[in-house]
Amino acid sequence: MPITFADVNTEYEVKRIKGTSKAKQHLEDLGFHVGSMITITSKSGEDLIVKVKDSRVAISREMANKIMV
């Protein structure tokens, strides 16, 4: 399922990243890699705040729909 449907404050493993090669590269640059653990810390409007490794990253709902857990 895409992380937009994931529960807040629950840890998930990234299973797949969809999208164009440019979108995939952008998400990988932000720290989203297959097998990495992420936690959604908040959902506000069209944006999600996601904890990746030791950082918090804000991503749009459109980009979040490309990350499958």
List, for residues 7-64, the tens digit of each pLDDT value. Answer: 999 999 999 999 999 999 999 999 999 999 999 999 988 899 999 989 999 999 999 9
Q: Domain residues for 42?
A: 3-68
- Total domains present in the chain: 1
Please give the Cα distance from 27 to 9 (Å, whole number): 20
Residue 45 confidence (pLDDT): 84
* CATH number of the domain bearing residue 16: 2.30.30.90
SS3 content of the chain, % helix, strand, coil (to 5): 25, 40, 35
Residue 46 confidence (pLDDT): 87
Please report which confidence band the pLDDT of residue 69 belongs to, taking 50, 70 and 90 as the band edges: very high
Does this model's pTM top 0.85? yes
